[in-house]
Amino acid sequence: MKPTQEPRRPTHVTRPGANHTGITLHPDLVAEMIEGTHEFGPTSRGGIEQLIAARDRAARDSEPAATMPPTRHLPAERLPVLDQLGARLAFERTGVRLYQALIGKLDTYDAFPGGPSRADLELLRDQERDHLLLAEELILDLGGDPTVVTPCANLQATATRGICEVVVDPRTNVIECLEAIVIAELADHESWDQLGHAVGLLGAPAVEQRVRDAERIEDEHARKVRGWLAAAAAELAARPPH
Amino acid sequence: MTLQLLKDRGVPLDRQRFHWRELAPPPISKVDCDAWTRVRIILMNGLESEAVRFSHAAARLYGGLQPTLAVLRRIEQHQQTLVNWLLPADHTPLETTIGYEQVAIEVTAALALEEPDPYLAAMYRFGLLEDFDHLYRFAALMDRIDGKDANAILQGYTDILPGRPTSIEHRHPLDDLRRPYERHRAELLSKLHAMTLVAAEHQTHDFYMAIGPMFADPTARQLYAEIASIEEQHVTHYETLVDPSESILEKWLLHEACEAYNYWSCAEYETDMRIKAIWERMLDYELGHVQHVAALLENIERRDAGEVLDVALREPVSYEPHREFIREVLRREVHLGSAGPILVRRDQEPERTLQYRSIVNAKDQPSNIVAAGWSWRPGGELATPSSGNGRHHEPPGVRVRKASS
């Protein structure tokens, strides 16, 4: 349901504002800070290698962050495919939520020339949902459990945690959200491609064909989002902020 | 299988030591661990955080105790670190939240079932239905923002269903005050139960206050604000069940006994041998604390610690699902509210509570927004097959019993 209020114009976040983080705003303060580091130097010797050595030691004591469930009834060669399918399922589910949030943004902020229409985004949302259901179906076909958080699913969720936070943040506009979503789309396409290779190794041509179909659609998603970002860049260049 | 709080002497204070590597041990696996192990870790972090909180409050009121409080408090803080650092970095704040609510539900249910005092048991069931609803709201948030299923954390042990709706849990502060147990009459078990729940709810409040601003979604931010407010009510609810006339040393002794009781329970049920060894070590440390504070009680107040810790503890807190008990409480008691220390039907709630509720709910009701039309299903609401597909997506072997209409 679209809101009844008038949409906001896209905000130029690159306009001059109140950013306080750089050193050029406070050169005297920074000079004093640098002077302080000369008087009060480090209290321990060495460099980054000690952090790396500590990681190495901890890694030798660590168990894997996640494994697959006990699967006595499944051939072991299916597990890598089930792991990757679990990741696609989880990623697509989050993808639907991302596009639902982005459609909401489009209702809040005006569209921009060359940017996505509501229908464009609804198509992508529905295709993410189709891929979610495809992953579910293939997992069931291979004898897996689609509710499992597989190791690959958990890893990708950790790696992409910030994307969702960008898109549901009321302060970000459509263009900023597309900057985040392009990361998801590029990663998603790459992951479907890798899944296609894994399924190919399994020797299941019918499954491979369906995975490749999804991979092509995800490739199209990445192209579309990159195109919208290019249009946004052109729009910002044509109408620079005052 | 008993815990003799004064006879089991534990480890003396001067042998209770840690180094940094111990304090940041390898964490559990988010997806490979049994959910009960996570529940125990979260609960014991709460007990230790209460130990530190209590110790600081006591130090501000009783200057003469400051040296001995400082020595024990350092150990408790390190114990808390060791326990809390068992949680892994791939837990999102929302996933940890789901774990916190599972603690609140399952531990409260376990204590309500074992509680010998009918008034206290009723109060535990009252709080239980509210935390039960929080789990449902947070699970909806997780599904609708992240596209994740909260059951990956709960592992099927705990239902994801509406309880007493969060939007009507808001009460005037005076309607959260309860009637305390009487220290001379109450059983030791009652005192330990109340203290356990104060600790669990207080850490939940503090956790939500810390992580609430980390969310970007405006309804998520409001939901954490709303539920943190209820957790503050719950701290009041549970802490006013404790007799305020207990002396400071009596309270301190009970705190240490409560930690020992809970570590003992954790060790009895733990299935992960590495974690079980931690519970056993911490139990020995707490028994050492009990000895230390018992001696203070005897030397300073000239009282026998045996009059406070007057019985052996025969049953540990149980770590097992309470599905049927909770559903029965839900059916019978979801309609309750409170008027001061008395539980009443919701249509008998005081005017002050109705007014307060109408003020906080005036603009938005985030707990209702987030779960509008939402029911849990395996994999989340997006996993529902589209019409015409006809294929069930329950895992192989799962049989879903349809509710009769």
**Radius of gyration, CA atoms only, chain A:** 23
One DSSP character per residue, A57-76 reads HHHHHPPPS--PPP-TTS-G
CB-closest option in A93, A147, A161 to B382: A93
Q: Minimal Cα–Cα distance from A241 to chain B, Å?
A: 26
Q: Which residue has the higher pLDDT, A107 or B64?
A: B64
Token couple for A117: 């229409």
Distances (CA, A) of B124 to B27, B180, B243, B378: 31, 13, 16, 29
> pLDDT confidence of A73, banded at 50, 70, 90?
confident
Which pTM does this prediction carry? Answer: 0.94
Distances (CA, A) of A173 to A31, A83, B161: 37, 35, 35
Using a pLDDT cut of 70, give the percent of chain A over it.
Answer: 94
- Contact of A155 with A145, CB cutoff 8 Å: no
Residues of chain B found within 8 Å of residue A93, distances taken between Cβ atoms: 147-148, 379-380, 382-383
- The stretch B312-317 carries a mean pLDDT of 95
* DSSP 8-state code for residue B157: S
Residue with tokens 């809970």: B262
| Other Cβ atoms closer than 10 A to B182 | 10
Q: Which residue has the higher pLDDT, B301 or B391?
A: B301
Angle (deg, nearest 10), helices B188-211 and B118-141: 20
Q: Which residue has the higher pLDDT, B310 or B120?
A: B120
Q: In 3D, which of A183, A95, A152 has the Cα closest to residue B147?
A: A95
pLDDT digits (tens, 9 = 90+) for A4-53: 666 666 556 778 888 899 989 989 999 999 999 999 999 999 999 999 99
Q: Which residue has the higher pLDDT, A2 or A37?
A: A37
Residue with tokens 């948030």: B141
Q: Nearest-5° angle of CA B241, CA B245, CA B248?
A: 105
Q: Distance between CA A218 and CA A205 in Å, rounded?
A: 20
**Across A95-99, A205-209, B150-154, B387-391, least confident range:** B387-391
* Amino acid symbol at A207: V
| Other Cβ atoms closer than 10 A to B5 | 28
pLDDT at A1: 53
Cβ contact A161–B218 (<8 Å)? no
| Other Cβ atoms closer than 10 A to B136 | 24
> pLDDT confidence of B405, banded at 50, 70, 90?
very low
Q: Nearest-5° angle of CA A223, CA A225, CA A229?
A: 115
pLDDT at B154: 98
pLDDT at A204: 86
Strand partners, A109: A8
Residues of chain A found within 8 Å of residue B385, distances taken between Cβ atoms: 133
* Amino acid symbol at A173: N
> pLDDT confidence of B396, banded at 50, 70, 90?
very low
Which residue stretches of B6-92 are H helix?
Answer: 20-23, 35-61, 66-84
Token couple for B348: 């008998």
Question: What value of ipTM does the predicted structure carry?
Answer: 0.91
**Radius of gyration, CA atoms only, chain B:** 22
Token couple for B361: 């709910």
- The stretch A124-137 carries a mean pLDDT of 96
pLDDT digits (tens, 9 = 90+) for B125-159: 999 999 999 999 999 999 999 999 999 999 999 99
| Cβ-based burial of A240 (10 A; exposed 0-12, middle 13-18, buried ≥19) | exposed
CB-closest option in B30, B147, B395 to A145: B395
Q: In 3D, which of B253, B188, B294 has the Cα closest to residue B55?
A: B253
Using a pLDDT cut of 70, give the percent of chain B over it.
Answer: 95
One DSSP character per residue, A176-235 reads HHHHHHHHHHHHHHHHHHHHHHHHHHHT-HHHHHHHHHHHHHHHHHHHHHHHHHHHHHHH
- pLDDT above 50 (res B204): yes
Angle (deg, nearest 10), helices B188-211 and B93-114: 170
> pLDDT confidence of B194, banded at 50, 70, 90?
very high
Q: Nearest-5° angle of CA B47, CA B52, CA B54?
A: 90
Helix, strand and coil content of chain A, in percent to the nearest 5, comes to 70, 0, 30
Region for A114 from its dihedrals, namely left if φ exceeds 0, alpha if ψ lies in -120 to 50, beta otherwise: left
- pLDDT above 50 (res B395): no
- pLDDT above 60 (res B364): yes
Q: Minimal Cα–Cα distance from B76 to chain A, Å?
A: 25
Angle (deg, nearest 10), helices B35-61 and B93-114: 80
Cβ contact A97–B146 (<8 Å)? yes
pLDDT digits (tens, 9 = 90+) for B236-294: 999 999 999 999 999 999 999 999 999 999 999 999 999 999 999 999 999 999 999 99
Residue B276 CB partners (closer than 8 Å, separation 6+): B267, B270
pLDDT at A241: 67
pLDDT at A179: 96
Calculate the average pLDDT of chain B.
95
Residues of chain B found within 8 Å of residue A166, distances taken between Cβ atoms: 216
Buried b (16+ CB within 10 A) or exposed e, A79-91: bbbbbbbbbbbbb
Angle (deg, nearest 10), helices B118-141 and B218-239: 170
Q: Distance between CA A235 and CA B138 in Å, rounded?
A: 40
Q: Distance between CA B91 and CA B148 in Å, rounded?
A: 12
Q: Distance between CA B269 and CA B293 in Å, rounded?
A: 27
Residue A169 CB partners (closer than 8 Å, separation 6+): B216, B217
Whether residue A147 lies within 8 A of chain B, CB to CB, comes out as: yes
**Across A78-82, A130-134, B172-176, B383-387, least confident range:** B383-387
> pLDDT confidence of B388, banded at 50, 70, 90?
very low
pLDDT at B386: 38
pLDDT at A240: 74
Cα torsion angle, B240, B243, B246, B251, sign: negative
Buried b (16+ CB within 10 A) or exposed e, B205-218: bbbbeebbeebbbe
Residues of chain B found within 8 Å of residue A149, distances taken between Cβ atoms: 30-31, 152
Q: Distance between CA B319 and CA B106 in Å, rounded?
A: 8
For chain B, give the number of residues: 405
pLDDT at B401: 52
> pLDDT confidence of A71, banded at 50, 70, 90?
confident
Cβ contact B30–A154 (<8 Å)? yes
- Contact of B356 with B337, CB cutoff 8 Å: no
Cβ contact B216–A165 (<8 Å)? yes
- pLDDT above 60 (res A165): yes
- The stretch B290-299 carries a mean pLDDT of 98
* Amino acid symbol at B104: A
For chain A, give the number of residues: 242
Q: Minimal Cα–Cα distance from A152 to chain B, Å?
A: 12
